[in-house]
Amino acid sequence: MAVSTKVIVRGGENKQIPRACRLRGFRMTSCAIFLQPAKIWRTLTYRFRDLLALEPLTADELRFLLDRSKPSQEIQKHPLKKLATLRGKTVALAFFENSTRTRISFGTAAARLGADTMNLQAEASSIKKGETLLDTAFNLNAMKPDCFVMRHSASGAADYVARHLDIPVVNAGDGTHEHPSQGLLDALTIRDRLGTMENLNVTILGDILHSRVARSNIHLLGKFGCRFTLCGPSIWVPRELEKIAPGVPIRCVYKMEEALEDAHVIIMLRVQTERLNDPPLSANDYILLYQLNAKRLRRAHRNAIVLHPGPINRGIEITPDVADGPQSCVLDQVTNGVAVRMAILYLVIAGASESGAHPALEARAAPSEESSKKTKESANAGD
Amino acid sequence: MLVIKNGRVIDPASKTDAALDVLVDGEKIKEVAPPGKIAAAGAEVFDAQGLIVAPGFIDLHAHLREPGQESSETIETGTRAAARGGFTAVCCMPNTKPVNDNASVTRFILDRAQATGSVRVWPIGAASMGSKGEAISEIAGMKDAGVVAVSDDGKPIATAKLARQVMDYCRSLDLPVMEHAEDVSLATGAVMREGVTSTRLGLRGMPAAAEAVCVARDVQLAELTGARLHIAHLSTKASLEQVRWAKSQGLRVSCEVTPHHFTLIDEDVTYDSRFKMNPPLAAREDRTALLEGLADGTVDAIATDHAPHQAALKDVEFDRAPFGILGFETALALALEQLVDLGRISLMRMVELFTTGPAQVLGMERKVAAGRPADLTVFSMDRTWTYNVEDSSSKSRNSPFDGKKFKGGPMATIVAGRMVHKN
């Protein structure tokens, strides 16, 4: 049964959007930047229309999303993987920045839910012809997708588009800000492998400053009592990182041996080789100081697991024996990525119009136009 | 003839704070006298009961965008907004298209101001040709045409060598050099202030040091050349310390602070590009230092850095948006709210920061006295109003203060005896 609550349905008219403008000494309006209150889904649950960042989500909401991924994980093991849950729905995959893994993962997730996709890739797009991000988004939206999954090189780009679109926006990575689905799939992988994601020692290695993955990891796992050690060259691991999530114990260290001490989870980040010259740091020095090899891994907890969002630079940040070793979860992450993204798409699309069971439990056709319309109308009325 | 009756005249030059009537005749003030003493039959009367009558406000730092970027602002719309904000004179920065680096552009600006402007326009000439930081511009020619200072605003004077040359030359011409202090090599690609907020948002930050490094360079060069150096939109504690030191050494160094820097901080930044300006909103402790500097006299002027940008340019991803926000219409109200009402400075000091302070930077005087030009700003301390940017006189809408409620603001602006704005 749907539990209808106060919903803000954002129309095309962006004048209705409350502005986020805090001034010294008082608050003008509430911040609508990350948050769009959305719909109640059965018991709890998810207050937002979009999925733009993990930072504003509560532990309950995060756990809910992970729990909702479990049935999808089961589906990955079936010989027949296609459901009809989102049949008739369309997911726009707007990748303004190159991506292989995430785009295919979202595409696969959509396909397994029975949804169609429309694809935008940076190289082929009219962005090259000078069209603005918003115009591109409006044009794709005019083809009537039900959800807008986007990646963009500018931090806050998904947030910006979400303020202007009337359909749910899912952030598939915005600049150096957040990568929510990656944060969720990492947590799912950790929880599956270690049996818990609470109170763990998590070490993140590499270019943290420019990593959207690290931020999403911190904002998720930090809400479950995890302690973070961030390690890498100091210019990539500024002390400010220790304060980005108030209440979460985060420390920056610059010696890898120290960083690995007693770690339960080691999250490697890709060395963006294009950044190795800015700041100047030679690849050889990086290997010498920060490469994860078998010997260094032994400093971590006995059962420590190693994650990497990919793509891996074998022989730079990680040695092949570790990448392929028993502690590595790299391929589990990829499998879980599809499951998490199925849960996300289901949540933002079907959750918008209907409560109800998970796709895996209730593989049936998408909700009818009428029922979704009704929900929106009642929502508007209650606003 | 116009008589402004029953107002409370605050005149920093003479340290006057008293109930006085002001009689304006033509372009000049004819008489200032206690209430009821002025006999001017037939004169138009403006009842300033409960209002403050101050010398005309001067804005040392604005972008009027004409010539070249008229989609964002023109001299006509910009000066109308300035009049609404209580300003009687605005200094316009030279980063127009073409750059104001020679007398013909200066004359064009002054001609347009004459024809379409609501308030006085005092152009600032570029320090280098095209503000490119290579060759020194035609400063003497521009001075003849009417510039009041030089600056490569938008960026610093590119090299220490050129800055020295410009200062040397401007010393002989007795023109102040206004510096946009920023070490650009430290700020490449940056869109906000470096700190916890930029790190959390994943936005590229410029360190506070980017400003202070350049201020230090210029203060040293001011000492070397004896030039009048004015640090524009000063935003950090360390820069303020440099200025404080320079003043203690007797150097001719001054600085201005913008209303947004004494109101907002980096923690207020969201992905909304109306919070993007250069210098970026600074850290909490920087703002605290600026408030102290405004109170103790280290800061000479409040300047708006009014920087209109049309929506097509500004309403984009944060990374791509140009720097700058509107400033004229909210400056006085923000100063009243943040500085006077909270007891940080006196009303007299605030008026000084808008009038005699900036006048001194330009080597001018401001005074409410007989025989002086009738440039007056009349404002209220208690009128409540809401800033709705859609009603702005500016052509652009890029203000983070849209929708904000204020207590106190401009009521009438008189330029050369003419009422150019009245609430």
Percent of chain B with pLDDT over 90: 98
- Mean pLDDT (whole number) for A43-57: 83
pLDDT bracket for residue A277 (50, 70, 90): low
| Rounded CA separation B291/A143 (Å) | 52
Burial of B271 (0-12, 13-18, 19+ CB in 10 A): buried
Four-way CATH pick for A14-179+337-382: 3.40.228.10, 3.40.50.1370, 3.40.1280.10, 3.40.50.300: 3.40.50.1370
pLDDT bracket for residue A98 (50, 70, 90): confident
Torsion over CA of B58, B60, B61 and B65, rounded to 10 degrees? 70
* A236 shares contact with chain B (CB less than 8 Å): no
| pLDDT value at A374 more than 90 | no
B387-409 pLDDT, tens digit each = 999 999 999 999 999 999 999 99
ipTM of the complex: 0.86
Residue of B nearest to A23 (CA): B264
**Residue B255 forms beta bridges with which residues?**
B231
Domains and CATH numbers, chain B: 2-52+371-422 (2.30.40.10), 58-361 (3.20.20.140)
- Mean pLDDT (whole number) for B236-249: 98
Is B296 assigned a catalytic role?
no
B310-347 pLDDT, tens digit each = 999 999 999 999 999 999 999 999 999 999 999 999 99
| pLDDT value at A1 more than 80 | no
| Rounded CA separation A250/A260 (Å) | 14
Domain A180-332: give its CATH architecture: 3-Layer(aba) Sandwich (3.40)
Q: Is B128 helix (H, G, I), strand (E, B) or coil?
A: strand
| Beta carbons of A96 and A127 less than 8 angstroms apart | yes
> Residue B196 is nearest to which of A159, A160, A243, comparing CB atoms?
A243
pTM: 0.87
- The catalytic position among A85, A102, A203, A319 is A102
Please name the residues between 138 and 177 in chain A that touch chain B, using a CB distance below 8 Å: 152-157, 159-160, 174-177
Name residue B265's amino acid.
Answer: I
Q: Which contiguous run of DSSP H or E holds residue A285?
A: helix A283-290
Question: Shortest CA distance to B251 belongs to which of B224, B233, B232?
Answer: B224
- Mean pLDDT (whole number) for B68-90: 98
| Rounded CA separation B257/B290 (Å) | 8
| Distance separating the N- and C-terminal Cα atoms of chain B | 20
| pLDDT value at B284 more than 50 | yes
Q: Would you state the pLDDT for residue A273? A: 66
Question: Shortest CA distance to B78 belongs to which of B357, B392, B415, B407?
Answer: B392
- Mean pLDDT (whole number) for B117-129: 98
Suggest the residue from B200, B314, B338 to mutate for an interface test with chain A (most A CBs closer than 10 A).
Answer: B200
Q: Give every CB contact of residue B146 below 8 A, 6+ residues apart in sequence.
A: B106, B107, B110, B122, B123
| Beta carbons of A109 and A338 less than 8 angstroms apart | yes
Structural domain boundaries in chain A: 14-179+337-382, 180-332
CB contact under 8 A, A238 and B199: yes
| Residues in chain B within 8 Å Cβ distance of A244 | 196, 199-200
- In angstroms, the Cα distances linking A339 to A64, A92, A132, A135 are 14, 18, 32, 31
| pLDDT value at A363 more than 70 | no
- Mean pLDDT (whole number) for A86-94: 96
| Beta carbons of A147 and A349 less than 8 angstroms apart | yes
| pLDDT value at B163 more than 50 | yes
- Mean pLDDT (whole number) for B125-146: 97
B180-217 pLDDT, tens digit each = 999 999 999 999 999 999 999 999 999 999 999 999 99
Residue A81 structure tokens: 């993987």
- The catalytic position among B152, B153, B305, B375 is B305
Name residue B244's amino acid.
Answer: R
* B338 shares contact with chain A (CB less than 8 Å): yes
Q: Would you state the pLDDT for residue A28? A: 29
Percent of chain A with pLDDT over 90: 66
How far from chain centre, in Å, is Cα B233? 8
Domains A14-179+337-382 and A180-332 share a fold: yes
Q: Would you state the pLDDT for residue A272? A: 74
Q: Would you state the pLDDT for residue A19? A: 30
Residue of B nearest to A14 (CA): B315
CB contact under 8 A, A156 and B201: yes
Annotate A332-379 with DSSP letters as a single string: HHHHHHHHHHHHHHHHHHHHHH-----TTT---PPPPHHHHHHHHHHH
Task: Please state the φ and ψ torsions of residue A113, each to the nearest 5 degrees.
Answer: -90, 0
> Residue A132 is nearest to which of B201, B263, B316, comparing CB atoms?
B316
Q: Would you state the pLDDT for residue A381? A: 35
Is A264 assigned a catalytic role?
no
- Mean pLDDT (whole number) for A264-270: 95
Sign (positive/negative) of CA torsion A53, A54, A58, A62? positive
| Beta carbons of A21 and B403 less than 8 angstroms apart | yes
- Mean pLDDT (whole number) for A167-172: 97
| pLDDT value at A167 more than 50 | yes
Q: Would you state the pLDDT for residue A41? A: 40
| Residues in chain A within 8 Å Cβ distance of B194 | 240
